[in-house]
Copies of this chain bind each other. A is one copy, B any other.
Amino acid sequence: MRALRKVGREAGAELVEIPIPAPGDDEVLVQVHGASICGTDLHMLEWNEWADKRIERVPLTFGHEVAGSVRAVGDEVHHLRPGAFVAAETHIACGHCATCQTGRAHICENLRILGVDTDGAFAEYVVVPARNAWVVGEGIDPDVASIMEPFGNAVHATFGTGGGEDIATNSVAVIGCGPIGMFAVAVVRALGAFEVIAIEPNAYRREKAAEMGADVLLDPTEVDPVEAVLAQTSGGGVEVVLEMSGNPRAIEQGTQMLARGGRMSLLGLPDSTVTLDLTDQVIFKEARLQGITGREMFRTWQQTTTLLSTGRVDISPVITHRFGLDQWADAFEATASGGSGKVILVPGG
């Protein structure tokens, strides 16, 4: 089969021919319908500092946001049959550590990631643990299924580490409207927020946020986003901030626009430390900051499936590009351009 692989510990990738992998006893072989490109994949292509530190072995097929059809199952797999159409949860949990055993497998102490620690999905076939293969509900388009994993990030961030009970009827700000921010705008809307304020410097992305349902659009290069949010909320601030930018300055601003007793969920990954005024913006306000990573296994997947299969959220406008495997270079270029939503590699054309 064809597979897009990192072959050396340096920038670049190669589309090569390798054997179709065989699933282990508790794994399934999936014929890839589509695999979308994540910021992580860009880092791996460019082989930045993070990639050099994080990736243990090459050659490695990368790519992890994937959906496709089960073609073979291991001997111990009884609940999935060839033909099932599945999307992959990419957090591979050990199942035995303290975190796994208290129902938080997505932050497993021994976490491995598909396409980072194991061969991934930019290929015609991929092997995933049976436990990580989520049967896609009826009425979900296969292309949309290919981006359920990053959409799940947005769903998890919106519900937060609690139950998301602070979304309905409240004002919510989404900072950073790359694809996951675009998704988040739509989820916040679907959960009954009073208003969604989208904050994003890139005009293309702001327009997409509007298309997904943002009520107020703010360009932080034009207005002070803290002042603008406070003005929009009669001085009270927003009950929830969903931080998708990873920008240290934006995170600091997020704390400043947060209402007393509010919640900020942090999903964007700053690549440096962040400096905060905890006394005035967190402690006296009794604000709550919470890290968000991956998707709760599998509460988030059920929520994701429901939101999509009922049409409450339509994320198809976020899919802006679609390429064959051999056009991978164009696909990565589109992803990095700032003028795209999600970009999908479709091995079968």
B-binding residues in A (CB < 8 A): 25-26, 75-76, 79, 94-96, 98-99, 101-104, 106-107, 109, 131, 159, 161-166, 168-170, 190-192, 194-195, 236, 246, 251, 259-261, 266-267, 269-271, 273-279, 282-293, 296-299, 301-303, 306-307, 310, 312
Taking CB atoms, residues of chain B closer than 8 Å to A283 are: 266-267, 269, 291-293
| Contact present for A291 and B298 (CB under 8 Å) | no
| Contact present for A102 and B266 (CB under 8 Å) | no
| Contact present for A291 and B301 (CB under 8 Å) | no
Sample of 8 more A-B contacts, CB < 8 Å, known A102-B299, A161-B288, A169-B306:
A76-B76, A107-B260, A162-B165, A168-B191, A194-B306, A195-B310, A246-B279, A269-B283
Point out the residue from B164, B190, B273 that lies within 8 Å of A276, measured CB to CB.
B273
| Contact present for B287 and A290 (CB under 8 Å) | yes
Point out the residue from B195, B275, B286 that lies within 8 Å of A274, measured CB to CB.
B275
Taking CB atoms, residues of chain B closer than 8 Å to A163 are: 162-166
10 interchain residue pairs of minimum CB distance: A163-B165, A169-B306, A283-B291, A103-B103, A101-B298, A282-B291, A79-B96, A289-B289, A169-B303, A288-B290
Point out the residue from B165, B273, B286, B299 that lies within 8 Å of A107, measured CB to CB.
B286
Point out the residue from B76, B285, B296, B306 that lies within 8 Å of A25, measured CB to CB.
B76
Taking CB atoms, residues of chain B closer than 8 Å to A162 are: 163, 165
| Contact present for A288 and B286 (CB under 8 Å) | no
| Contact present for A251 and B278 (CB under 8 Å) | yes
Taking CB atoms, residues of chain B closer than 8 Å to A270 are: 278-279
Residue of A168, A270, A289 with most chain B CB atoms under a 10 A cut-off: A168
CB nearest to A26 among chain B residues: B76
| Contact present for A287 and B277 (CB under 8 Å) | no
| Contact present for A273 and B275 (CB under 8 Å) | yes
Point out the residue from B95, B164, B236, B301 that lies within 8 Å of A168, measured CB to CB.
B164
Within the complex, the shortest CB–CB distance from A39 to chain B, in Å, comes to 13
Within the complex, the shortest CB–CB distance from A124 to chain B, in Å, comes to 27
CB nearest to A164 among chain B residues: B165
Residue of A98, A162, A298, A310 with most chain B CB atoms under a 10 A cut-off: A98
| Contact present for A273 and B277 (CB under 8 Å) | yes
The 7 sampled A-B contact pairs (Cβ below 8 Å) are A98-B302, A109-B236, A161-B261, A168-B191, A194-B310, A273-B277, A276-B276
Point out the residue from B192, B246, B279, B301 that lies within 8 Å of A192, measured CB to CB.
B192
Point out the residue from B161, B260, B275 that lies within 8 Å of A286, measured CB to CB.
B161
Residue of A101, A297, A312 with most chain B CB atoms under a 10 A cut-off: A101
CB nearest to A107 among chain B residues: B260
Whole-angstrom distance between the alpha carbons of A170 and B122 in the complex?
Answer: 34
Within the complex, the shortest CB–CB distance from A233 to chain B, in Å, comes to 10
Taking CB atoms, residues of chain B closer than 8 Å to A190 are: 168, 192
Taking CB atoms, residues of chain B closer than 8 Å to A98 are: 236, 259, 302
| Contact present for B302 and A291 (CB under 8 Å) | no
Taking CB atoms, residues of chain B closer than 8 Å to A282 are: 266, 289-291
Taking CB atoms, residues of chain B closer than 8 Å to A164 are: 163, 165, 168
| Contact present for B168 and A299 (CB under 8 Å) | no
